[in-house]
Amino acid sequence: MDKTILITGGAGFIGSHVVRLFVTKYPHYRIINFDALTYAGNLANLRDIQEKPNYVFIQGDLNNIKDIENVFDQYPIDGIIHLAAESHVDRSIDDPHSFLQTNILGTAYLLDMARKYWKDNLDNKRFYHISTDEVYGSLGDVGLFSETSPYNPQSPYSASKAASDHLVRSYGNTYRVPYLISNCSNNYGPNQHPEKLIPLMIKKILKEENLPIYGDGKYTRDWLYVVDHAQAIDLVFHQGRIGQSYNIGGQNEYQNIDLVKLLCQLMDEKLHRNVGSSENLIQYVRDRPGHDRRYALDITKIANELQWKPSVTFEEGLNQTIDWYLQNQTWLNHVDLLI
Ligand code: NAD
C-alpha cells in the first residue's frame, strides 16, 4: 500500500461518503475507518465496500487515548481526515459536556498522537480537520463568511467545533503538526441520521406526521450535497496548502420553511398524493435557544485554488436523497430504533 489514511467518524453520515470515495478511488491506499459507533455511527452505511482489501474498520473511542495509540502502533499513518464528532446542535443544548469531551478533548488526543508518532518525520503528513460554518456565528440578511471572518459560535456544538479548530491551528503553530481545516455548510444526502432536518422531514412526510418548524421558519441555511462535500475533502486533502482553511458551501441558500415546502411538493409527486396535502402537516413550534438566523459561505478560495464547485443542483440532490430514503426505509426504521 502506498499510504495509510486514518479516517475518524467513517461510519457516520459524511464520513461514510468520504470512506467510500477513498476506498474506491485509491485502491493503493489503506483506508482505516476509526469509529466508536455511537448512536450516529452505522456500519450499514458501508456495506458495499466492507470486503474491499484496502479497507480496515477499527472500533475505537477518541476519548480513550489507548484506542488511538493502538492504531498508530499497528499502522504507519500518513494522513488523518478527522470527522468524528458529536454533531447535533439540539443534543448539544441538552447535554453540552459530551460535545466538549469528544469534539475538543477527543481532537486534542488525536493531535497528541499525530505529534508523537510524526515527530521525527513530518514530510508528506497531513492532519485534516473537518469543521463547520457554524463557528462563524450568525449572519444578517446580506453578506457571506470568508475564511478570515471572526469566530462567533452560538451553540455548545459550534463552540466545541470552534475550540477544536483553534486547537488544530495551535498544534500547527506550536508543534508544527501539518494541518488543513475546512468549514462546510449544511450537508444533506443518503445515510444522514433522521435527527437532522431533511431526513426528519422526509420520514415525517412519509408517515404523514406533523412537520415541526422552529420559530417563524425563516432561518436560512446553505445546503450542500454530501457527495460534493466528499469530493471537496478529497481535493483539500491532496492539494490544499498546509496551514490553510477552506470554506466549502453549496451556494444554495434556503429558508427552512421554503425547503420543507419543496420537500412536501417533491414527495407528494413521488408518493402520488394530492399536491399540497403534505404542506398541511406543517406546524410551527417554539424556537430553540441560540438559533443562528443565517449562514452562508464565500467559496472563492476553494474555487480559485482547487477548482472545486458543487456538481449537482439542489433539486437534483434532493430528488436523489428522497429516492434513497424511499428505497431504504429499513435503514430509516432501524436507525430510529438505535436512538
Ligand atoms: P455524524 O453524527 O453523522 O457522524 C459522526 C461519527 O463520529 C459517527 O459515526 C460516530 O459514531 C462517530 N463518533 C462520535 N463520537 C466518537 C468518538 N468519541 N470516537 C470515535 N468516533 C466517534 O456526523 P456528520 O454529520 O457526518 O459530521 C461529520 C463531521 O463533519 C463532524 O465533525 C461535523 O462537525 C462536520 N460537519 C457536519 C456538517 C453536516 O451538515 N452534517 C456540516 C459541516 C461540518
This model of the complex carries an ipTM of 0.99
Per the CB < 8 A criterion, the answer to whether 80 and 126 are in contact is yes
> Atom of ligand 1 at shortest distance to CA of 10?
9
Q: What Cα–Cα distance (Å) separates residue 204 from each residue in 194, 195, 199, 299? A: 10, 11, 8, 33
Write down the pLDDT at residue 252: 94
pLDDT tens-digit map of 42-78: 999 999 999 999 999 999 999 999 999 999 999 999 9
Query: How would residue 231 be classed by pLDDT, with cut points 50, 70 and 90?
Result: very high
- The CA 84 to ligand 1 mean position distance, Å, reads 4
Please state whether beta strands 211-214 and 245-248 pair in parallel, antiparallel, or not at all (unpaired).
Answer: unpaired
pLDDT for position 335: 83
Q: Going by CA atoms, what residue is nearest to atom 10 of ligand 1?
A: 41
CA of 76 to the centre of ligand 1 (A): 24
Residues in contact with ligand 1 (CB, 6 Å cut-off): 8-9, 11-15, 35-38, 40-41, 61-63, 83-87, 102, 106, 130, 132, 161, 184, 186-187, 193
Of 87, 88, 185, the residue with max ligand 1 atoms within 8 A of its CB, to mutate for a pocket test, comes to 87
How far apart are the C-alpha atoms of 14 and 189, rounded to whole Å?
9
The CA-atom distances, in angstroms, between 75 and each of 3, 68, 70, 238, 271 are 10, 11, 9, 20, 49
Catalytically active residues, by annotation: 133-134, 157
**Alpha-carbon span 214 to 288, nearest angstrom:** 7
Confidence (pLDDT) at 337? 61
- The answer to whether 117 and 72 have CB atoms below 8 angstroms apart is yes
Domains of the chain by start residue, with CATH = 3-189+225-252+295-306 (3.40.50.720), 197-218+254-286+313-338 (3.90.25.10)
Amino acid 275: pLDDT: 86
Task: Render pLDDT for 247-285 as a digit per residue (tens, 0 to 9).
Answer: 999 999 999 999 999 999 999 999 999 988 999 999 999
Residue nearest to atom 4 of ligand 1 (CA): 12
Radius of gyration of the chain (CA): 20
Q: Which residue CA neighbors atom 15 of ligand 1 most closely?
A: 85
Reply yes or no on whether the pLDDT at 317 is more than 90.
yes
Residue whose CB lies within 8 A of the most ligand 1 atoms, among 7, 8, 13, for a mutation test = 13
